[in-house]
Every structure is written in structure tokens, then in C-alpha cells.
Amino acid sequence: MQVQLKKGVMDMLVLALLTQDDRYGYEIVSKISEYIEISEGTIYPLFNRLKKEGYVETYLKESPSGPSRKYYHITESGIDAYNRMRCEWNEFSSIVNVLLKGVDINE
């Protein structure tokens, strides 16, 4: 997938996962990586930005298998931002699908 396309949806995907439950960074990376190729090095700056914007908060939680983990929790502001992003995505993807419908790349 093209880099710019991934960058455009990564905030929304992280916030979407956090609407389901608090998660630690590696867990988020692993879940997204099941579908889209990403690296930990590219997503941690995104976490920092989401925190700076007030969309997420962090806390430490003991891990049963090693050191404490930093968990991310979505804030009310983050939920509002996610809902806006999701509406924009739905509108945008609908338009793209309409434009692509019936296009045959073999013609």
C-alpha cells in the first residue's frame, strides 16, 4: 500500500482500536500489521502526536511477562476526533467507490 495512503488512515485505525479497549503499543502495531505492513518505528511518533493533541492518555500497567507496559487510553476528545475521521472516511471511500465502479482496467 502506498505510504501516503497509509499515513492518511493510521490515526483513524489507532483510535478505532482504542475505542474497543485500552492497548499497549506493540499490541496496536501487531493488530494493524495483520492487515497493513507497518513498523514500530513509524507508529510511535504517531502515538506521541495523538497524546500531544489530547486524543489519548497513557498509563503504566504491570506485565505478567516482563517490565511494565505503557497503555494507551482514548479520551473523549479522541472519540470525537475518531467519529469525525470515520465520517470523512465513509464519505471519501463512497465517492472513490462510485468513481471506480464499472471501470475496467483491461479496456
Q: Where are the domains of the chain?
A: 3-100
Give the C-alpha separation, 2 to 22, whole Å.
Answer: 28
Indicate if the pLDDT at residue 107 is higher than 60: no
Query: 3-100: which CATH architecture?
Result: Orthogonal Bundle (1.10)
Model pLDDT for residues 1-52, shown as the tens digit of each residue: 576 677 779 999 999 999 999 999 999 999 999 998 887 788 889 999 999 9
pLDDT of residue 27: 93
Give the C-alpha separation, 30 to 103, whole Å.
Answer: 34
pLDDT of residue 106: 57
Provide the pLDDT confidence category of residue 105 given band limits of 50, 70 and 90: low
pLDDT of residue 38: 85
In order of 41, 45, 85, 102, the CA distances from 30 in angstroms are 13, 16, 22, 35
Amino acid sitting at position 105: I
Mean pLDDT of the chain: 90
pLDDT of residue 104: 64
Cβ proximity of 74 and 29 under 8 Å: no
| Mean pLDDT for the stretch of residues 61-78 | 93
